[in-house]
Amino acid sequence: MTNLNSNEPPKDLAVTTSGRPTEEVIHTAQDWAERLGVPFVLRVEGIQKLAARYDVKGLLVVSAERITYREPLTALEYFFHPSMAKVRLHNCLRGHDDPLLRAMALQAGESVLDCTLGRATDAALCAWKVGPSGRVLGLEKSRILAELTIDGLAHYVDSATRLTELLRRVEALWADYHEFLPTCADDSFDIVYFDPIFHDPLEQSQAMVPLRALADSSPLTAEAVAEARRVARRRVVIKQRKGTPLWEELGVSEVVGSPGGKIEYGVVIASGACLGQGGCRRSRSFRAE
Ligand SMILES: C[S@@+](CC[C@H](N)C(=O)[O-])C[C@H]1O[C@@H](n2cnc3c(N)ncnc32)[C@H](O)[C@@H]1O
């Protein structure tokens, strides 16, 4: 994995296996420990006792089925899963509207830089829309989330083969967009996308609970959006809760959502595109389902 972060090993972490592991599982766990630069510990006892014995907060538990990050003291458990990607893909294939793709006005062959990759649900939808000739690159700052998403994109097998293929097409880096964006040339991606952690979470979103615990929850700044406008050829798209006070501050010119939906997408026209159009318009676009 290429990354822009320091290669310092994650603190407070060890790698172990599920109970009664096969040789292959043990080797996989040892590879993870070596790559991350953290101890590999044999699963001779329960997770809580192992964590206490080795004085770590979390353990990556490798089994034949999946790799799970577990924190015994908080009962946190996180593993890669593409969340709502399958449902959204199914809806798109039936011709239904997806407000994110509408906000991006994405076309086949285009490129997307997803600055807040998370579980890569949105990135998978973008990969579908841009097709095999397009490109989707995701950045994730949280080390554990980045490692599990990078692994999931390479190995997760969904019952929908089409989704599995999309996941394989998403590129991912463990990187902080604050550091990555300045390294990008002007106009180097058609779209730059931000989905920052909401400070006021949606109640129903249970899938977000473990991700939130591991995620970087710093708010999106006007400076980062300005840098993204330079890097984007067409537009910067930002996801927020409906009614956010942020749109004015971030220079959003168009808001895209769906009636009754709890979230909306703000569109900021890219620096070059804005000049080309002789200014940015301000509008609100909703489409009935
Ligand atoms: C709400 S989640 C994104 C979910 C994602 N859109 C999906 O479809 O799964 C926000 C993610 O952005 C990550 N993040 C926050 N600040 C970041 C930064 N400066 N650079 C890279 N990733 C960042 C968080 O760690 C978190 O995983």
Distances (CA, A) of 107 to 116, 155, 193: 21, 27, 15
DSSP code of residue 162: H
- Reported as type and span, the H/E element at residue 36 is helix 23-36
CATH number of 13-77: 3.40.50.10480
Convert the pLDDT of each residue in 104-146 to its tens digit. 999 999 999 999 999 999 999 999 999 999 999 999 999 999 9
| Distance (Å) from CA 178 to ligand 1 centroid | 12
Residue nearest atom 2 of ligand 1, based on CA coordinates: 118
Domain boundaries along the sequence of the chain: 13-77, 85-286
What pLDDT is recorded for position 1? 37
Distance (Å, whole) CA 17 – CA 116: 29
**85-286: CATH number:** 3.40.50.150
Three-state SS at 166: helix
Is residue 227 within 6 Å of ligand 1 at its C-beta? no
Q: What pLDDT, on the 0 to 100 scale, is given for residue 205?
A: 64
Bridge partners of 192?
Answer: 113, 236
> What pLDDT, in 10s, does the model give residues 203-215?
556 678 899 999 9
Determine which residue's CA is closest to atom 3 belonging to ligand 1.
Answer: 118
What's CA 144's distance to the chain center, in Å? Answer: 12
- CA proximity to 269, closest of 104, 113, 98, 137: 104
Any idea which residue has 């990050």 for tokens? Answer: 69
Decide whether 13-77 matches 85-286 in CATH topology.
yes
Q: Which atom of ligand 1 sits closest to the CA of residue 218?
A: 16
> Tokens in use for 145?
């989330």
Partner residues linked to 17 by β-bridges: 62
- If you count them, how many residues does the chain have? 289
Please state, rounded to an integer, the average pLDDT across all residues of the chain: 91
Helix, strand, coil percent content, the chain, rounded in steps of 5:
35, 25, 40
Q: Tell me the residue ranges of DSSP E strands in the chain.
A: 13-17, 58-62, 67-71, 76-79, 111-114, 135-140, 170-174, 189-194, 232-241, 254-257, 263-269, 283-286
- 229 is written with which tokens? 């406008």
139 lines ligand 1 (CB under 6 A): yes
Instruction: With a cut of 70, say whether residue 72 has pLDDT above it.
Output: yes
CA 284 to mean position of chain CA atoms: 26
Is the pLDDT score of 244 beyond 80?
Answer: yes
What CA–CA distances, in Å, run from 149 to 119, 139, 258?
A: 6, 10, 28
Q: How far is the CA of 190 from the centre of ligand 1 (A)?
A: 19
Pocket test for ligand 1, best of 3, 89, 116 (most atoms within 8 A of CB): 116
Q: Dig out the tokens for 123 from the structure.
A: 């990135």
**C-beta of 177 in contact with ligand 1 (< 6 A):** yes
Asked if 191 contacts 237 with a C-beta cutoff of 8 angstroms, the reply is yes
**Cα four-point dihedral sign 159, 160, 163, 169:** positive
- Give strand pairing partners of 269: 235
* CA–CA gap between residue 188 and residue 213 (Å, rounded): 32
pLDDT exceeds 80 at position 156: yes
Query: Of all atoms in ligand 1, which is nearest to the CA of residue 139?
Result: 21
